[in-house]
Each structure stands twice: as C-alpha cells, then as structure tokens.
Amino acid sequence: MNCIFCKIVNGDIPSKRVYENDKVIVINDIHPACKVHLLIISKDHIESANHLTEDNADIVKDMFMAAKEAAKLSGVSESGYRLINNCGSDGGQTINHLHIHLLGGEKLGERLL
C-alpha cells in the first residue's frame, strides 16, 4: 500500500519518534504550523475518522492518551494545546491514514479557521 504514514510506522521512511507505544506513534510534522506541531498516528491503517467502527474505535482512546503523553514530553501540558483531526476533502485531510494534530508551544488563535 502506498501510504506515507504506513511507511513511517514500518520504518521504510525514517522518523524521530517523540513517543511510541504498541498502538500509536507520535512524530513531528514536517511542515510545522506553530512551535510544537506533532502528529499522533495509529499504527494500524485506518483511512479516516469516517472509517472508525465498533471494532477499531478503541484506537481513539489510545490516540488521545498518546497525545497527553506527548504533550507532557514536549513541555506543553501546562501551557495547553489543541488537538485536531481533519477528515475528508472539505476537512483538509491530505494523508488518508488516521492521525491527530497536536498544536501548541505558543498562544493559538481563538478561531478554528
């Protein structure tokens, strides 16, 4: 499968992992939108939030817990951060493998767009 995030998970594309457990990896976004911009990526290939089912949705808990740990490791736990999931074309999803953006390290705008 020609999926960039599967290649990163497999190690075919090398990456520095900010955090990892058996379900999730966390890496730095290659084009950071702010001072701290992490990607929380499921190890399993799930295309998007639209592809969550009763059988695979436990990953959502794993991803939020990994985000919390990565926030701590990146020093933004106390200052705060924003978690965003883009889904589909209008949502701005460009990589069709489930991931959450963690944005922080500076004061973010109050508006979402």
- One symbol per residue from 59 to 98: x for binding ligand AMP (CB under 6 A), - otherwise; what is it? ---------------------------x-----xxxx---
Closest residue by Cα to residue 103 from 48, 29, 42: 29
d(CA 40, CA 98): 9
In this chain, which residue has its C-beta nearest to Zn ion? 3
d(CA 102, CA 26): 10
Q: For 100, which DSSP code?
A: E
Binding site for ligand AMP (CB under 6 A): 4, 13, 27, 29-31, 39, 86, 92-95
Binding site for Zn ion (CB under 5 A): 3, 5-6, 45, 97
Enumerate the active-site residues. 99
